[in-house]
């Protein structure tokens, strides 16, 4: 049967792994989960590459950062590889998150049902507007931004989600960092300044649309 010789996570320095590799790992997990649910036991790098439009050699190189998975000519044990990648990504835990900004976007984020099944629990919401603070949105009482640090500590919040206008984004991100948050998902069209050790992921649908129109102009 398929074998693996994965390294201890402490043996893998974060700086050793290219950012683009980390961003591909969740794609592997999603596809492996699909194959597992379909009853598949073994998958090859060629099959993974065909579905993800990534070369088999690149997939093998990505995985090699974390150890030896599978066996040449026999492929990967689907469930085992999925579980090991989930461990590498920290997806074998649940993570509490807070959303800052309860406008239309923030309300959509806290009501989105897809986070919880993947282990991300939105447990608190914040806003700077007195008209919104105190409201209950998707079963969360909106708190003032002044309560951020206290709430982060009390609820063990590890992830901040920024859904405020661009002119407020840096200030909100600074407040999240000051509260001890090291992982931030940012919807504002801004490249924020953050200290070393803080990871920010930006989502800007407008930029994506603008890049797409190059191909249809």
pLDDT tens profile 73-97: 678 999 999 999 999 999 999 999 9
Out of 89, 117, 137, a domain closes at: 89
Q: Using alpha carbons, list the distances in angstroms from residue 2 to 26, 44, 72, 128, 169.
A: 21, 11, 9, 54, 48
Q: Could you tell me if 121 and 26 lie in one domain?
A: no
Q: Could you tell me if 154 and 192 lie in one domain?
A: yes
* Res. 4: pLDDT tops 70: no
DSSP H or E run through 67: strand 67-69
DSSP conformation class of 216: H
pLDDT tens profile 117-159: 999 999 999 999 999 999 999 999 999 999 999 999 999 999 9
Number of structural domains found in the chain = 2
What is the reported pLDDT for 5? Answer: 60
Q: Could you tell me if 69 and 101 lie in one domain?
A: no
Q: Could you tell me if 80 and 153 lie in one domain?
A: no
What is the reported pLDDT for 3? Answer: 45
Would 217 be classed as within a structural domain?
A: no
If we measure between CA atoms, which residue out of 158, 160, 130 comes closest to residue 143?
A: 130
Q: Give residue 127's domain range.
A: 95-208
Would 161 be classed as within a structural domain?
A: yes
What 3-state DSSP class applies to 167? helix
Q: Could you tell me if 79 and 142 lie in one domain?
A: no
Q: Could you tell me if 193 and 160 lie in one domain?
A: yes
* Angstrom distance (rounded) from CA 123 to CA 167: 25
Would 213 be classed as within a structural domain?
A: no
Would 162 be classed as within a structural domain?
A: yes
Scored b (16 or more CB within 10 A) or e, 170-193 reads bebbebbbebebebbbbbbebebe
Question: Domain of 70: which CATH number?
Answer: 1.10.10.10
pLDDT tens profile 13-61: 566 899 999 999 999 999 999 999 999 999 999 999 999 999 999 999 9
Q: Which pLDDT band holds residue 6 (cuts at 50, 70, 90)?
A: low
Question: Domain of 156: which CATH number?
Answer: 3.40.50.720
Single pTM value for the model: 0.88
Would 63 be classed as within a structural domain?
A: yes
Two structure tokens written together for 205: 């649908």
């Amino acid at each position: 049967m398929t074998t693996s010789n994965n390294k201890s996570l402490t043996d893998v320095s974060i700086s050793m792994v290219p950012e683009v590799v980390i961003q591909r790992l969740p794609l592997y997990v999603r596809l492996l989960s699909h194959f597992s649910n379909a009853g598949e036991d073994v998958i090859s790098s060629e099959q993974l590459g065909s579905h993800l439009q990534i070369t088999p050699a690149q997939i093998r190189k990505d995985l090699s950062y974390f150890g030896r998975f599978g066996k040449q000519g026999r492929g990967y044990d689907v469930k085992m590889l999925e579980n090991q990648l989930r461990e590498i990504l920290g997806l074998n835990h649940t993570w509490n998150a807070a959303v800052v900004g309860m406008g239309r976007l923030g309300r959509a984020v806290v009501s989105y049902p897809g986070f919880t099944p993947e282990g991300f629990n939105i447990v608190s919401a914040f806003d700077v507007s007195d008209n919104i603070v105190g409201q209950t949105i998707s079963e969360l009482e909106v708190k003032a931004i002044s309560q951020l640090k206290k709430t982060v500590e009390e609820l063990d919040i590890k992830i901040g989600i920024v859904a405020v206008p661009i002119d407020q984004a840096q200030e909100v991100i600074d407040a999240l960092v000051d509260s001890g948050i090291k992982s931030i998902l940012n919807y504002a069209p801004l490249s924020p300044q953050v200290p070393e050790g803080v990871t920010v992921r930006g989502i800007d649908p407008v930029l994506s649309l603008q890049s797409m129109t190059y191909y249809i102009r």
